[in-house]
Each structure stands twice: as C-alpha cells, then as structure tokens.
C-alpha cells in the first residue's frame, strides 16, 4: 500500500466526515421545531420515549446530539431523568440508520453493463449530488436550499465511503494489517479500540463507517472481530454527552451517566453471552467475513436487543445513576434559565427561549395588574414585590437576550430567523412594561404618603381607563402566547381608543382645575399615571404588531400601522368604534 493510497484514504475520511456533518446539520434545520414537537409529546410511557428517541436521532443523524439535548432539557428542568432514559435508549436505535445508509454503497452491483450502467449506484449518487447542488445554489426558497444541502450531504457521505473503500482495498495484501486485525479477536482489545476511535472522532457513525469501508474491501473483518469493536464504538459515543454534562446540575450529569451505563452493561452482557455460547456450541458463522451490510445488521441487533433487555429496568438504571452521583442534604438546586447545550439544536433553543419568554410575560402581566390596583389600595409589601418582580424581569431580558444572540449566530432558516427577531423585540417591550409598572407604583406611593386621592369624577374616569388598559394587556399577551394573528389585529384599534382616553382625561382635569375641584399636585400625579398607562398600551401594540409583521413579512412598524389603517379602514374603524363605545367616559 503506497503513501498515495494512505492520502486517498484520509481524503475519503475527510469527505465522509464533512458529508456526515452537512447531512446532520441540514436534516436538523429541515426538521426545525418538529424536534421540539416530538420531544414535547413525551410522557411517562417508556415505550413511547424509545420511539421518540429513535425518530429524533434518525432525523438529525446523531445519537450524541440527541443525548446532549437530553442533558440540556434535564438541566433546565424541562424533563425528568426517568423520561430521558427511554429517549436515550431510542437514540441508540436511531443512530443505526446511518450505518444502513452507508451500507447502500455495498449493495451496488458490479455487473452493470451497457445501457444498464445508467442505473448503477455511482450514477444514482451523482444524480443526487447534481440535483442537490442545483437546489442549494440556484433556488431562492430557504426550504429548497436545505433540501439541496441534505442531498449534497448524502452524496458526499457516499463518495467519501467509496474513496475509503477503494483506498483500503490494497490493505488485504498487507500481512501486517491482517495480523493487526486478528488482534481484535481479543474482545477487550476490540472494545477498547472501538471506544477510543469513536471518542477521538466524536462520532460513532464515522467510526462505524470506517469499519464498514475496511470490511468491504479487505475481507479481514469477521463477526468475531466486528462485534467487540462495534460494542466499543457504542461506549465511545458516550464521551460527547459526558463532556457536555460538565458544569451541569446533578440531574443532567445522571443523564450522561445513564447513557454510559446502558452501553457498558449492554456490552458486558452481550459479549459474555456471545463467548459463552461460542464456547459451548460450534458456530461457524462467527469466523465468516463481513461486509458493510453485515456490520449494519450487528449494530442494529445489538441496540434493539439491549433496549428490549433494559427497558423494563429504567428505574434501576435511574437508581444506579443516583447512587453514582449523590445529592447532598443541604444542596439547593439552582436551575439556569436557559441551557447552552441546546444551542447545538437551534430550533429547540428558539422554542425554549419562547417558553422562558412566556414566563417573563406572565410575570410582567401580574406585575402591571398589581401596580394598577395599588393606585386605589396601596400596600407597601405589594409595592416591594413589584420592584422585586421588575428586577427579575430585567434578569429575564438580559439572559434571554444574550441567549438569543448566540442562537442568531447559528445557521437558521428564514422562519427561525424571524422568530429570533420577534422574540428579541418582544422581551424588550415586556421589560419596558415592567418599568412602567414601577412608575405607576411610585405614583401610588406618593398619593399614599401625601394622603391625597382623586375626586369621585376622576376616580370614575380612571376606572374606565384602567379597564381598557387591562383588556389591551390581556389581549396582546394572549395573542403572544397563542400566536393568534386575528386577536393581535384587534389590539391596535383599542390602543387608539386609549390614546383618545388619555387626551380626554387630561382635558377634563384642566376643566376641574378651573372650577377648583382638583389640585395642581394631583394633576401632576394624574399626568404621570396617564403617561405610563398610555406607554404600556403602546408596548402592547408593539408586541401585537410584531406578531403580525412576522406572519405577513412586513418590516417597518409605523409604516405597517399606517397601512393597516388604510387598507383595512372599514374593519379597523368598526373595531375602533366598538371599543370607544365600550369605554365611553361618563358625562
């Protein structure tokens, strides 16, 4: 085997790895929030968890990515360890899909001749590559580009596999290599070799692909040699999750440990049974040579049988993980708001940002309502809670904002990019609303300290304004929670009504000043309250308009609002008049 052959093998490995990366990333991008939807359907039913884990891993072509996702979910408190265990088992099954994809190259026949050669495997892969390039480079649709990248990634995977196979063909004539492969008949050496190779490459799919390419061309890989290496590769795949769990909480560390235990115990049990049976019974097949398909069969059988064996013992695996990583009696769990491990799957990270933003919105809603109620019934404890809530909301904005910027640096689809932009704008509006809640609280505190209050007429008028403010706040946040565009479009007419109420209330206050029914001091407080009420409604409008913009691909907020009033003037004015009648000030 010449130096050029070695270089060709390395080049083939590089193409294979790049193809695997491209295929995995593109499939993940294409799946988008479907991954999140699948995982959200998880229940305490372990069988369902296995199927979900297998489906997600088959989608994104990486058991390591699925396991790291589980570490992130458990670390964030979104899943329990018991739920994650069955998903990890399913991930081991799902990862075998890659070995079957790679084995396609060995299914191609060499007997194609004449016109039938157009149907050869190499020709089909070339066609797939050409179609992929056309989709990736010459279409405008983001979804079609992603499909193109999937096809290109698959083609590169196959081309790399063929390059490695062609380069390794001459290895069968090298006596030293044959002697080296027979070393792995020793199961311990085989397991170690498989684990180390996978740990270094950070991908069991790649290491199994290398084994498949060698088996196709050299004829030196037998069942007896392949089994320990394959089981060792499963163990090596645990390294990624173990590294990912560094710095996570104990529950998340247990996820990685369960993955390791599942593969280590499975390897011990199945290798023990294999060598016990072969010692008692002469099975000729164990010394037969394997091709890529045979390796895919062994890989799938082991993971399916291991899952079937351990699935009834998920609670015992959980207890074993808890015994390995113990809780301290005085330790207080501190869950981070968002987990950086989820950044490896941007679509999932965006959904978790959204979930945390919902919590931020809930707290903002509660805080504003508390502040409004203080105007008529001041309570120092509630006032302190409002200030504390506002500080918490500031932290929410800071952490979500920083996290979103990290997500934005990833390769996102158009819809995901729009979601990131929308969330960034929305959390800013939520934070500003909480600031106005504190301003309202300060105005209420001033009235309480000075023992002054509004006249009966002013109280009645403020009650109308308050009711309108509560409705627009509730309406805009419900639209945000449910992504209800029809509801979002009802916000702007009410915002215009609130603007009108503010102007009318100011005019009425001036009239009362002239007749001596109100004081200048109360006028300043009233002006402050009305300004903050109106600003809250403005931010509610911003949240609703942002939802509509994302749905309708509009950019400029002011331009959009103007167009809304022009193009839908009749409908807009009907809603405006309905709200104006509903919140009509008393004479």
- Give the predicted TM-score (pTM) of the model: 0.60
- Say if residues 95 and 63 touch (Cβ distance below 8 Å): yes
Query: Nearest 10 degrees: CA dihedral of 410, 413, 418, 422?
Result: -50
**Whole-number Cα distances in Å, 93 to 154, 241, 256, 338:** 20, 17, 17, 28
Is pLDDT above 50 for 110? no
DSSP letters, 233-252, are HHHHTHHHHHHHTTTS-HHH
Is pLDDT above 50 for 116? no
Question: Would you tell me the crossing angle of helices 292-310 and 96-107 to the nearest 10 degrees?
Answer: 160
Is pLDDT above 70 for 503? yes
CA distance 488 to 215: 61
pLDDT score of 99 = 72
Question: Would you tell me the crossing angle of helices 520-552 and 491-515 to the nearest 10 degrees?
Answer: 170
Q: How far is CA 490 from the centre of its chain?
A: 31
Domains of the chain: 3-324 (no CATH), 340-582 (1.20.58.220)
Is pLDDT above 70 for 167? no
Is pLDDT above 50 for 536? yes
Is pLDDT above 70 for 140? yes
When the pLDDT of each residue in the chain is averaged and rounded to a whole number, the result is 78
pLDDT in tens, 233-288: 888 878 777 776 776 667 778 888 888 888 899 888 888 888 888 778 777 676 77
CA distance 402 to 151: 34
Question: Would you tell me the crossing angle of helices 292-310 and 81-94 to the nearest 10 degrees?
Answer: 160
When mean pLDDT is compared across 55-69, 84-98, 274-288, 365-379, the lowest value belongs to 55-69
pLDDT in tens, 183-224: 666 778 888 888 887 777 666 766 677 777 677 665 667 777
Higher pLDDT, 16 or 510: 510
Residues 6+ apart with CB under 8 A from 206: 13, 16, 17, 20, 198
Is pLDDT above 70 for 373? yes
When mean pLDDT is compared across 158-172, 432-446, 499-513, the lowest value belongs to 158-172
When mean pLDDT is compared across 100-109, 298-307, 496-505, 526-535, the lowest value belongs to 100-109
**Residue 101 phi, psi dihedral angles, 5° rounding:** -60, -45
**Whole-number Cα distances in Å, 416 to 25, 32, 82, 288, 357:** 15, 8, 30, 50, 16
Residues 6+ apart with CB under 8 A from 165: 12, 105, 213, 216, 217
């Amino acid at each position: 085997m010449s130096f050029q052959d070695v270089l060709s093998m390395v080049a083939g490995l590089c193409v294979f790895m790049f193809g695997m990366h491209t295929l995995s990333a593109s499939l993940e991008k294409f799946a988008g929030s479907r991954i999140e939807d699948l995982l959200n359907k998880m229940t305490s039913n372990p069988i369902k968890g296995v199927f979900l884990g297998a489906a997600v891993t088959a989608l994104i072509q990486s058991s390591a990515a699925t396991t790291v996702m589980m570490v992130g979910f458990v670390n964030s408190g979104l899943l329990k360890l018991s739920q994650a265990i069955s998903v990890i088992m399913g991930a081991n099954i799902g990862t075998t899909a890659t070995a079957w994809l790679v084995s396609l190259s060995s299914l191609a026949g060499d007997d194609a001749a004449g016109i039938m050669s157009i149907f050869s495997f190499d020709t089909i892969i070339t066609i797939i590559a050409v179609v992929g390039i056309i989709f990736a480079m010459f279409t405008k649709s983001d979804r079609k580009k992603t499909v193109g990248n999937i096809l290109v990634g698959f083609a590169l995977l196959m081309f790399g596999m063929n390059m490695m196979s062609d380069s390794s063909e001459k290895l069968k004539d090298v006596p030293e290599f044959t002697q080296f492969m027979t070393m792995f008949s020793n199961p311990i050496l085989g397991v170690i070799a498989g684990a180390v190779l996978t740990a270094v490459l950070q991908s069991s799919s790649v290491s199994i692909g290398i084994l498949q390419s060698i088996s196709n061309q050299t004829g030196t890989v037998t069942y007896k040699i392949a089994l320990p290496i394959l089981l060792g590769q499963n163990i090596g795949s645990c390294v990624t999750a173990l590294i990912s769990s560094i710095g996570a909480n104990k529950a998340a560390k247990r996820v990685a440990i369960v993955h390791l235990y599942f593969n280590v115990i499975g390897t011990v049990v199945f290798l023990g049974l294999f060598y016990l049976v072969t010692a008692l019974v002469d099975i000729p097949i164990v010394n037969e040579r394997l091709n890529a398909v045979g390796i895919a069969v062994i890989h799938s059988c082991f993971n399916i049988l291991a899952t079937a064996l351990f699935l009834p013992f998920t609670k015992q695996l959980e207890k074993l993980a808890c015994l390995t990583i113990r809780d301290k009696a005085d330790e207080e769990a501190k869950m981070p708001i968002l987990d950086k491990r989820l950044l490896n799957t941007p679509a999932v990270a965006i959904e978790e940002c959204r979930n945390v933003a919902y919590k931020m919105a809930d707290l903002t809603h509660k805080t504003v309502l508390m502040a409004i109620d203080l105007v008529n019934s001041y309570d120092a404890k509630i006032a302190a809670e409002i200030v504390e809530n506002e500080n918490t909301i500031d932290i929410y904005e800071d952490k979500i904002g920083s996290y979103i910027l990290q997500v934005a640096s990833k390769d996102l689809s158009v819809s995901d990019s729009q979601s990131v932009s929308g969330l960034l704008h929305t959390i800013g509006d939520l934070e500003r609303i909480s600031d106005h809640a504190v301003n309202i609280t300060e105005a209420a505190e001033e009235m309480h300290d000075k023992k002054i209050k509004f006249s009966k007429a002013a109280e009645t008028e403020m009650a109308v304004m308050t009711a309108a403010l509560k409705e627009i706040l509730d309406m805009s946040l419900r639209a945000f929670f449910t992504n209800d565009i029809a509801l979002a479009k009802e916000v702007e007419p009410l915002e215009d009504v609130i603007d009108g109420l503010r102007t009318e209330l100011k005019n009425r206050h001036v009239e009362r000043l002239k007749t001596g029914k109100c004081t200048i001091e109360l006028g300043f407080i009233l002006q402050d309250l009305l300004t903050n009420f109106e600003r809250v409604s403005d931010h509610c409008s911003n949240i609703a308009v942002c939802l509509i913009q994302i749905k309708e691909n509009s950019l400029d907020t002011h331009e959009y609002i103007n167009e809304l009033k022009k193009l839908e003037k009749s409908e807009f004015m009907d809603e405006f008049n309905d709200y104006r009648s509903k919140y009509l000030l008393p004479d």
